[in-house]
Amino acid sequence: MKLQIKFISMMLLFLTQLTGIKTVMAAEETSVFDFPEAADLWMRAAPPNAKMLAAYITVVNNSQNQMKLTGAFAPDFGMAEIHKTVEIDGMLKMREQKELIISAQSSLVMKPGGLHIMLMMPKKKFKVGDQTRICLVYRNAAGEEYVQHLDFPVLKK
């Protein structure tokens, strides 16, 4: 009987600890950023003397929260910006996009002729099959910044 009580109290202690851990995890979960899924990422191969390169990606926001893509940086380049190609008076121009909203359960598609990551001042030469690191900067609803580090393969398409 005594042994049984001891066993039950130990079980209770164990359960309390379990619940305790669960509570902490739930609290942490709310502050953890749900990074979007990165699909079809690639950097377009360019001639070796190219001063500007472009990279593309599909960003899939599987979370229940809206997020914003606010910029990019790339260690292999002097500058990286998110651009959109737009037609103005029959001329194709590129406009920097300082904030792109990605609604919950939706995706943002970057592809040639539209949104792209513009990479300027390359610090090295790339060939097909290489990879280059590009970091995307997101903000959640609370304005907190999160950086996603991705390796983009260099492809000729």
Residues that bind Cu ion (CB under 5 A): 83, 94, 118
CB of 30 to Cu ion, least distance (A): 36
Neighbours of 40 (CB within 10 A): 12
Q: SS3 sequence, 89-132?
A: CCEEEEEECCCEEECCCEEEECCCCCEEEEEEEECCCCCCCCEE
Q: Which two tokens stand for residue 142?
A: 């609370």
CB of 131 to Cu ion, least distance (A): 21
Q: Which two tokens stand for residue 50?
A: 């190219």
Instruction: Output 96 or 151, the one with its CB closest to Cu ion.
Output: 96
Instruction: Output 90 or 113, the one with its CB closest to Cu ion.
Output: 113
Instruction: Output 94 or 155, the one with its CB closest to Cu ion.
Output: 94
CB of 17 to Cu ion, least distance (A): 54
